Structures are given as C-alpha cells and as structure tokens.
Amino acid sequence: MVTVLEYKPSREGLGEALLEIADQYPQLVAIGADTANSTSLGKFAKKYPERFVNVGIAEQNAVGIAVGLSLVGKLPVVSTYAMFLAGRCWEEIRQSVCYNYSNVKLVGTHAGLTVGPDGASHQILEDIALMRVLPNMSVIVPSDANEAKVAVKKSLEKVGAVYIRLSREKLPVFTSPEEDFVIGKAKLLREGSDCGIISCGVMVYESLVAAEILEKQGINCRVINMHTVKPIDTEAIINTAKKCKCIVTCEEHQVYGGLGSAVAEVVIKNYPVPQRFVGIKDKFGESGPAEGLMLKYGLKAQHIVETVKEVIKYK
C-alpha cells in the first residue's frame, strides 16, 4: 500500500518553504494579488510585511513588478491562482519574465480540475503547456505538499524563471520531507518492466495506486514521478521506454501540450514505443468535489489501470 502520511493541499508547501527560508534569502520578496491567504502566503506576509507586496487584483502588474524587482537585485516570488498567473499573464511572462532573462519565481496555485467546486473558470488545464513552451522557463509540478515545499526551496537556488504548479485541495501526502529533490531529475518510485507510467502532480499518487492494482493482476509497472516537466529528464524517459517498451503518461491537464506531449517528444526521437495519455481530453471541467471530478474526467487509478492494459496490447 502507498503510505499516506496526511491529507494536505500542496499549495501549503509554498508558504511553509518561504517562512523557513526567508532569513537565508534577505532579497526574497513575495508578491500576491488579493489571494495571499489562499496561496498560503498569509503567514509570510504577516511575519515579513516589508517583504510582501499585495498588488491588488492586478496580476499583470504583479508579474511586471516582479520583473522590475528582479532586475534590481531582489528575488521575487509571485503567487496567485494558476489560472490568472499562467493564463492571464502569459504574454507578460513571455516578454517581461523570460525575454529579460529575469530571475522570477511564479507559483500558480489552485491548478487543475481538483480546484473543484469553483468550476471550469478556475480549473486551468493548460498551464503546463503554456509555460513549457517558453524559452528560459522551468516547469515543476510537485506531487504533494512535501514535494512542493522542497521544490519551492530548490527553485530559489536556481537562477532563472521557474513556474511551479500547485493544487488547492487536500490531497494525499506520500513523499517524505527528507526525500532528495533535484530540479530536472525524475524520481523512480517503483520498478517494473511491463509498462512505464510517467506522471506529475496529483497523478503520481494515482499512478502508485494503479501500479498496486496492476501488480495484483500480474502486470508490473515502472512508475516515474516526473516532477520537473521542463527541463525534462530525458534519460529517465529513454530508460523507461527501453525497459518497458510502452508508456502511459498521467497528468491533471489537457492531453495536448503538457507532460504527455513532453514525454512523447523524447520517446519519438530516441526510442519510439507505444504511448497513451491519461489526462483531460480537450474539454473544460465543471463544478464538483475533486474526487468526483477526477472520476468523471478519467483521472483516477482505475483509468490508469485501463490505459496500461490498453497500451500493453500494442507493444
């Protein structure tokens, strides 16, 4: 059984990380857009009021200001809902963050279907694709609150733009806070040679559950936590393709342009094997509890199980 340590929203990793690391980075400045409490920056804002900027409901300005801050030596972390950061500010991020080679960290919370009852207007399912295509941008999709916390800390060590995608809902925490985390280096969670499952974000847990179900049916899967979608760990993908001869990718995101596409780009060039995509199939989400939505839109372990069985036929 996958051990669940607790249930917690991954966005809380952001606030915890910044509080722990603030004294180590005197230049660190956090920027919110009327959403600091929801993104988990509330405590940081209270403890370090002179290092927290609330721009109001003005996301584009938040991004521009972050770039200006970084160009004069500050270390800005902008956080608001992923929809309004990666979505609304895409061009600002391209022109001002990336094209300026600025050292800005962007943390989009409330990403994906699991934001739940707020519905499709808030459920960004396109941000991995939007951020991944930008030169100078790294994209990290942590799988739980512990990993989110390390990812935020590691992103501050890295010079350059980073987008981190976090969730709103309380979700299983199953990685250890001590686990090694290297940006761009995937984690091998489970060995197996019948099928490779490569996942990010909330889908990593579902993949582990799926692998357990499959094991009972005699199918052994190699499960990879691809927390960094860019720069992607090419070696881990190639090794998986060679070993398993088929791959299923899983993401809480459109199947177009996200993790699945990133993996396919590597597979097709280096070691072509059949691949299937678990993700949202060109649709908007809707209101409902996270679990119910994952079930309806095909993001639960059982869907991964079906997809693995399907792709194996094409080996």
Partner 1 sequence: MEKENIRYSELERLCKEFRKTILKIITEAGSGHPGGSLSVVEILTTLYYLHLNHNPKNPFDDKRDRVVLSKGHSCPALYVILAELGYFDKQELHNLRKVNSILQGHPARVYNGGDEVKFVPGIEVSTGSLGYGLSVAVGMALGFKMDNKQNLVFAICSDGEHQEGSIWEAIMFAGFKQLDNLIEIVDYNKLQQESRIDDSVSLEPLKEKYISFNWQVYEVDGHKISELDTALADAKKYKGKPKVIIAHTVKGKGVSFMENNVDWHGKAPSKELLEQALKELEGK
Rule CB under 8 A: which residues touch partner 1? 29, 50-51, 53, 55-56, 58, 60-61, 63-74, 76, 91-92, 95-96, 99-101
Active-site option among 12, 16, 59, 147: 59
CB of 108 to partner 1, least distance (A): 19
Cβ–Cβ < 8 Å for 236, 188: yes
Return the number of the residue (52 or 163) whose C-beta is nearest partner 1. Answer: 52
CA dist list (Å): 266 to 84, 178, 234, 243: 30, 30, 6, 15
For the chain, how long is the longest CA-to-CA vector?
A: 59
CB of 78 to partner 1, least distance (A): 10
Return the number of the residue (88 or 170) whose C-beta is nearest partner 1. Answer: 88
CB of 130 to partner 1, least distance (A): 16
CA dist list (Å): 283 to 116, 125, 255, 297: 15, 9, 10, 9
- Let me know if 252 is a catalytic residue: no
CB of 43 to partner 1, least distance (A): 20
Task: Give me the sign of the Cα torsion angle 265, 267, 273, 276.
Answer: negative
298: left (phi over 0), alpha (psi -120 to 50) or beta: left
CA dist list (Å): 150 to 105, 176, 263: 14, 10, 24
Return the number of the residue (76 or 258) whose C-beta is nearest partner 1. Answer: 76
CB of 37 to partner 1, least distance (A): 20
Token pair 């194996």 in the structure block, residue:
312
Return the number of the residue (70 or 249) whose C-beta is nearest partner 1. Answer: 70
Instruction: Determine phi and psi for 135, rounding to 5 degrees.
Output: -60, 145
Return the number of the residue (68 or 119) whose C-beta is nearest partner 1. Answer: 68
Residues with a known catalytic role: 59
